[in-house]
Amino acid sequence: MAQSWRGKPHGGDGEGDPLAGAGRGHTDRRARTPPPLDADALERLALRYVERFATTRARLAAYLDRKLRERGWRSDAAPDPAALVARLAALGYVDDRGFAEQRAAGLTRRGYGVRRVGAALRAAGIAAEDAAPAEEAARDAAWAAALAFARRRRIGPFAPDAAAEADPVARRRTRDRAMAAMLRAGHAPRLAARILDAAPGTVPDEDGG
């Protein structure tokens, strides 16, 4: 669907005069007000949205609901954004399971744990059955994700040798802060403890070695 993106003209006869064109600007704003939606216009909005964004059924439905509130409806038949979303999902334009897998993989690579992955998928409105494969993959990659987080934050085995305080109280405070960071990132406490208890330069194996 071809579109023309034209910038507003600069300058003109009224440049520098704060009163010039004031009435015309008001008229232009009213002329630019989009008309109320009908079924065809709503579908065009939905198609444009899924072309531009990787999304979920819930997010697409929320977007369409917002557009209906903003612009109103001009058809005798009541709007049915839920049916439109379901049709686009059936056609493959919206794929909650695929979205979940991509989002989970990205979070895992960045070092986030299973709990953060699950929270992100729920926030995106993904149903449990569509999120399940992605969460299972995140569980399988939990150890690698935790190591990636520790490496990025330079804690546990990735902490510099100079960071090891001689004072046990300071050492405990440092460990507590690192543990809090790993828990916020969604890692299980026992897994985080194993990594944080490793000496700098000694990366533990997942199997306990």
pLDDT digits (tens, 9 = 90+) for 56-102: 999 999 999 999 999 999 989 999 999 999 999 999 999 999 999 99
Q: What is the pLDDT of residue 206?
A: 85
Q: Which H or E element spans position 136?
A: helix 128-140
Q: What contacts 203, CB < 8 A, 6 or more positions away? A: 147, 157, 158
**pLDDT exceeds cutoff 90 at 46:** yes
Between 15 and 139, the more confident residue is 139
Percentage above 70 pLDDT, the chain: 82
pLDDT for position 12: 43
Q: Looking at residues 126-154, what average pLDDT do you find?
A: 97
Please give the pLDDT value at position 164.
59
Distance CA 164, CA 160 (A): 8
Between vectors from CA 78 to CA 74 and to CA 81, what angle results, nearest 5°? 100
Where does the pLDDT of residue 150 fall: very low under 50, low under 70, confident under 90, or very high at 90 and above? very high
DSSP 141: T
Rounded mean pLDDT, 133-150: 97
pLDDT of residue 162: 54
What is the reported pLDDT for 208?
Answer: 66
What pLDDT sits at residue 161? 72
* Average pLDDT of span 29-56: 91
User: Could you give phi then psi for residue 202, rounded to 5 degrees?
Assistant: -115, 95
- pLDDT 10s digits, 175-189: 999 999 999 999 999
Residue listed under structure tokens 């960045």: 110
- SS3 sequence of 11-62: CCCCCCCCCCCHHHHHHHHHHCCCCCECHHHHHHHHHHHHHHCCCCHHHHHH
